């Protein structure tokens, strides 16, 4: 079964735009789980422009499914993982000025740095996932540094899907086969949507989990949150 984790950052973006606590991101996480989500993902950034570190601490005692905390592994992130002890820590290479994730790690170039970070994170009990571009070489690098999983960066897939879905999916299939052969779990996320999710899930071997946020919130404006989550879950039945 492919697990569906809802990234709730955009609920926080909406809240922060007006001030106050509407929508309540803690309640949003509870409802996402109640409506069928099998995980909750957050990506706190240093400027707290959406999810705040305080939100993450509150979610620690609320999330009953799988809690996934994404982020660049600076000192603040490492301390947060140590304190919260989520099921999964997903490392992304974004600097503080990046609006949204736009590339994966070069696991060869940053081997020593990532190896030390992974060793530290595993002491908290978290499963460690490395955000990578669709490249068998990057998957090999992730395995060599002790990662448990990779997360495939799917924005290029989403962009090319509209032009030629067979070409769009090819490097992801190759990378997934390599990752599985090396004992890595396989996650995916970024710009997956109702338009392209089912084809991705059908074709990526050994896919464990997808995390989706922006598209879920957009679709929920028209379909309602409960119905949206159920529709996404149906796309993952392959």
For 114-137, the pLDDT digits (tens) are 999 999 999 999 999 999 999 999
Q: Which is nearest to 172 in space by CA: 208, 203, 213?
A: 203
Q: Is pLDDT of 98 > 80?
A: no
Q: Which is nearest to 103 in space by CA: 118, 93, 113, 114?
A: 93
**pLDDT range class, residue 46, cuts 50, 70, 90:** confident
Q: pLDDT, tens digit, for every residue of 21-43?
A: 999 999 999 999 999 999 999 99
Q: pLDDT, tens digit, for every residue of 187-206?
A: 999 999 999 999 999 999 99
E-assigned strands of the chain? 3-7, 39-42, 66-71, 88-91, 127-132, 149-153, 185-189, 209-212
Cα-based torsion angle of the residue sequence 196, 23, 187, 58 in order, rounded to the nearest 10 degrees: 180
Q: Is pLDDT of 99 > 80?
A: no
Q: Could you tell me what percent of the chain has a pLDDT over 70?
A: 97
Q: Is pLDDT of 15 > 70?
A: yes
Burial of 221 (0-12, 13-18, 19+ CB in 10 A): exposed
Burial of 170 (0-12, 13-18, 19+ CB in 10 A): middle
pLDDT at 124: 93
| Mean pLDDT, the chain, whole residue set | 95
| Structural domains of the chain, with CATH | 3-235 (3.20.20.70)
Q: Could you tell me what percent of the chain has a pLDDT over 90?
A: 93
What is the pTM for the complete model shown?
A: 0.95
Average confidence (pLDDT) over 217-231: 98
pLDDT at 94: 76
Q: Is pLDDT of 164 > 90?
A: yes
Residues annotated as catalytic (active site), given as ranges: 43, 70, 190
Q: pLDDT, tens digit, for every residue of 52-86?
A: 999 999 999 999 999 999 999 999 999 999 999 99
């Amino acid at each position: 079964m492919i697990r569906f984790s809802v990234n709730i950052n955009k609920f926080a973006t909406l809240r922060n735009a007006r001030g106050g606590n509407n929508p309540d991101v803690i309640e949003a996480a509870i409802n996402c789980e109640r409506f069928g989500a099998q995980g909750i993902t957050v990506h706190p950034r240093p400027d707290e422009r959406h999810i705040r570190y305080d939100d993450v601490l509150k979610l620690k005692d609320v999330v009953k499914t799988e809690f996934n905390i994404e982020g660049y592994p600076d000192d603040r992130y490492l301390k947060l993982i140590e304190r919260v002890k989520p099921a999964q820590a997903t490392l992304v290479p974004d600097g503080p000025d990046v609006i949204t994730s736009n590339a994966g790690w070069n696991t060869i170039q940053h081997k020593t740095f990532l190896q030390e970070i992974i060793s530290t994170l595993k002491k908290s009990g978290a499963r460690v996932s490395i955000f990578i571009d669709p490249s068998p070489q990057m998957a090999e690098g992730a395995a060599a540094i002790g990662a448990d999983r990779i997360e495939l960066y799917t924005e290029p897939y989403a962009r090319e899907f509209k032009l030629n879905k067979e070409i769009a999916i090819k490097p992801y299939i190759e990378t997934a086969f390599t990752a599985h052969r090396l004992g890595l779990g396989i996650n995916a996320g970024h710009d997956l949507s109702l338009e392209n999710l089912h084809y991705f899930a059908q074709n990526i071997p050994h896919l464990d989990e997808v995390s989706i946020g922006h598209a879920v919130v957009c679709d929920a404006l028209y379909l309602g949150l409960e119905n949206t989550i159920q529709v996404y879950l149906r796309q993952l039945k392959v």
